[in-house]
Amino acid sequence: MQSTIDIQAMRRAALDAMAGLPEPPGALSVEAIRIDAGSQPDPGTLAVAVRDRLLRDGGPGAALVTGLDATSDIPEARKFHKELFAAVWELVEPAAGDEVPGNGYKVKMNVIADGAIPLELYGNAWSFKKLHMDRDALIFSHLYGPTAGFDGGALLLADVRAYMGLHSAGFTDLFDWSQEPTPGSKPVLRAEHESAVLAECGANVGPLGPGEILFVNNLPSAGILHGATPVEVTDPEGYVREYHRCSVRRADR
């Protein structure tokens, strides 16, 4: 079986290597990652624009597709999300290389209800808030909706590759490993560094809805962290915060 220790070691080695890297050419900002879907969005055409932003040889490492028809029903929006993610991965896959050990790929698509996540799997009923990299995903994408009855929940992104290069910082300078009930851990930015990383190399994408789809390059060498501001439930009876998540990881050996 694929070893979670191997994946953790590769993520740590990639983060340590960033201390000596020049700043990536594509600066991370909301403006840099935004893609207007247009009046008749086509998954194949959008996938090219998403790919160009995800890859770190010139892109900022994330992409935000905006302008989708927010009035369409949620099942249709999720269907479009699946089609777009598949088209994006077909273009990004050649760049994935051997960064994570395994044989082939697994695509996972599911709906996560924030506040009702199984404790036995994740140790918390709420999606991860601190800036971090996911352990297994190579790339992932979120489509939010339905959402109602809360404040907060803004999505945060940070280019830690740029920050670590500028400050000659390694893994032990900035990160801890997450504590989880399942085997393996993810790199988590320590709280005392969050303000500085966000100020220098971060972007507040804001709370997202069904008219937007966020893509993140989670390859070890990409150096993109993601998180969210706390959610404050303002209407317990009407509260809902769901997101449709598509991700891909290397398959077990």
- Quick one: tokens of 138? 């190579």
Q: How far apart are the first and last CA of the chain?
A: 5
Q: For position 40, what pLDDT does the model report?
A: 85
- Quick one: tokens of 95? 């760049």
What mean pLDDT is predicted for residues 61-75? 86
pLDDT tens digits, residue range 136-164? 999 999 999 999 999 999 999 999 999 99
Average pLDDT, the chain: 91
Q: For position 20, what pLDDT does the model report?
A: 86
Confidence check: pLDDT of 253 > 60: no
pLDDT tens digits, residue range 94-104? 888 777 666 77
The answer as to CATH 1.10.12 being correct for domain 4-250 is no
Q: For position 1, what pLDDT does the model report?
A: 40
What mean pLDDT is predicted for residues 73-81? 91
- What residue segments make up the domains of the chain, in order of their start? 4-250
pLDDT tens digits, residue range 224-244? 999 999 999 999 999 999 999
Amino acid (one-letter) located at 61: G
Peptide bond into 146 cis (omega under 30): yes
Q: For position 154, what pLDDT does the model report?
A: 96
pLDDT tens digits, residue range 208-217? 988 999 999 9
Q: How confident is the model at residue 198 (pLDDT cuts 50, 70, 90)?
A: very high
Going from the C-alpha of 57 to that of each of 22, 61, 129, 197, the distances in angstroms are 12, 9, 28, 21
